Amino acid sequence: MLIKNVSVLLGKELDFVPKTDIKIQDSRFKQIKSSIGTNTKDEFFDCEGLLLIPGFVNCHTHIGDSIGKDVVLNSSVDKRIHPVSGVKPLILKNTEKNHLASFMKYSCQSMINKGITTFVDFREGGFEGVLLLKQILSKLQIRGIILGRLEFYQGTSEIKKNKPMPKTKMNELVELLKKCDGIGVSGANENSLSVLNYYSSTPKLRAIHSSETKQSVSKSKKITGISETTRALTMKPHFLVHMTHASLNDLRSASKKTSGIVICPRANAALAEGIPDIELMKKVGCTIGLGTDNVMINSPDMFREMDYLWKVTMGIHKKRIEPKEILKMATVNGGKILNKDIGVIEIGKLADGIFINKHALDLEPMHNIHASIVHRASESNIRAVMIGGKIVHGKI
C-alpha cells in the first residue's frame, strides 16, 4: 500500500509533518519520506486533506461486562465490580455464553470504529473466559492482548497466614497461560504474598490492579501492615493499573520496578474514587498509559478518555498540561508499556493508524494539532481505521 500526500504525527514525539508519503509492506511501515515513486504493483491512495495519527492503544479493558452497562449506578466499587462479592461476577456467571459473546463482539467493533487498534483485556472466567474472547477475536481484525485470570481469590485469614496457591490452581494456571498473553490479577488484597510471588515466576505478561480506592489501600495496611502497591510489586508486574491513591513512595517504586502505570480516569470518576495524579506520576518518572476500564461503567472511547483527563487534571491542579503528553498516553506510551511495535508511526512498526478528516467542522482550522485531537476530535471525524496495513473501518 502506498499513501500519498498525507499529514502525519510521526515518531515517538508525535511530530507534525504537514505532507509526506508512506509505503506499507508486510503489515509494517516500510518507507516514510516526502516523495515515494509509484509502480503498478502498489495499491495507491491520495490522502490530501487527511491526518494520520497512531492507532489508539487501550491498555486496560474488561469487555466481558459489556452485558451489564450502567447497572447499580449508585453502589460502591466493591458492590459493583469486586471479583467475589460484586454484582459484576454474578451477572457474568448467570449470562449465557452466546449472549455474552454477542455483547463482547459489539464492544470490539465499537473500539475499531473509535480508532482503537489494540486493546488489553483483563479477562475473567478462567480458561473458558479466555477461549471465549479468542473465539470472538478470530472473527475480527482488532488486535487483542488477553490477560487471563484464575478464578481464585483468598480471604483475610489466608492472606494473614500467607497461604500458598493450591497445586490444582497451579496446574490450571499452566493451562491458562498456554491460551493467553499473560495474567491480569484483580489485586493484592485477594492474594497472599506467597501467591503473588508465585505469579512473579510466570513467563508471560503480568499486570495487576493497585491502589484504586482509599478502602483498598487501608485494607492492605490493616491486614498486612504493608502498602497495597508494595505487595502488588511482589508479583513483578510489567505494569500496574489505576494507582489513583498511590503514595509518593509507591509511585517511585513503580517507576523503578515496572514498565509503567495504566490509568483509567473516567472509571475512577464514575466510581467516585478520585482522579490519578498524573503530574506526580510524571515527576517521579512513570510512563503513563490510558485505559477505558469496565464497559459496564464506560464506553471504550479513547477520545473521551483523553478529553476528560486533560481538562479535569488542569481543573484540579490549575496547571497547563501539554496535550501532546495526553495523546502519547493513548498511543506511544501504550506500545512502550506493552513492549510491542504499536502506537507509533515510524519505519518498522506495525502499520496501525487513524485517518482523521482535517476539514471536519469540529476541527478546522487545526492551529494546535495535538490539542485538536485530544479535546475536539471524536469518532465522527474518523475517515478510516487501519490495522496492520489493512483498512478495517471506513475508507480512504
> What are the CA-CA distances from residue 284 to residues 232, 248, 287 (Å)?
19, 8, 10
Which of 67-76, 83-92, 191-200 ranks highest by mean pLDDT?
A: 191-200
Q: What is the pLDDT of residues 336-395, one digit of tens each?
A: 999 999 999 999 999 999 999 999 999 999 999 999 999 999 999 999 999 999 999 999
Q: Are residues 234 and 376 in the same domain?
A: no
Q: Are residues 228 and 327 in the same domain?
A: yes
Q: Are residues 46 and 92 in the same domain?
A: no
8 Å CB contact between 244 and 209 = no
Cα Rg of the chain (Å, integer): 21
Choose the final residue of a domain: 292, 316, 338. 338
8 Å CB contact between 362 and 334 = no
Query: CA 140: distance to chain centroid?
Result: 18
Q: What nine digits make up the cell of 29?
A: 511501515
Residue 95 pLDDT: 73
Q: Are residues 205 and 329 in the same domain?
A: yes
Statement: residue 81 has pLDDT above 70: no
Distance CA 305, CA 290 (A): 8
- The candidate with the shortest Cα–Cα distance to 329, out of 347, 350, 317, 313, is 313
Task: Tell me how crowded residue 30 is: count the other CB atoms within 10 A of its CB.
Answer: 17
Choose the final residue of a domain: 290, 310, 338. 338
Whether the upstream peptide bond of residue 265 has omega within 30° of 0, thus cis, is no
- The candidate with the shortest Cα–Cα distance to 149, out of 164, 163, 169, 135, is 169
Domain enclosing residue 351, as ranges: 2-55+343-394
Q: In this structure, what CATH number is given to the domain that contains residue 223? A: 3.20.20.140
Distance CA 291, CA 73 (A): 20
How many degrees, rounded to 5, is the angle at CA 154 between CA 153 and CA 157? 165
Please, what is the average pLDDT of the chain?
Answer: 94
Instruction: Report DSSP state, residue 165.
Output: P
- How many independent structural domains does the chain possess? 2
Average pLDDT over residues 227-256: 98
Residue 67 pLDDT: 83
Q: Are residues 215 and 152 in the same domain?
A: yes
Helix (H, G, I), strand (E, B) or coil at 283: helix
Q: In this structure, what CATH number is given to the domain that contains residue 51? A: 2.30.40.10
Q: Are residues 373 and 272 in the same domain?
A: no
Q: Are residues 257 and 155 in the same domain?
A: yes
Q: Are residues 121 and 51 in the same domain?
A: no
Q: Distance between terminal CA atoms of the chain?
A: 12
Q: What is the pLDDT of residues 261-276, one digit of tens each?
A: 999 999 999 999 999 9
Q: What nine digits make up the cell of 240?
A: 500496574
Average pLDDT over residues 69-75: 69
Instruction: Report DSSP state, residue 259.
Output: S
Instruction: Report DSSP state, residue 350.
Output: B
Residue 98 pLDDT: 87
Q: What nine digits make up the cell of 178?
A: 498456554
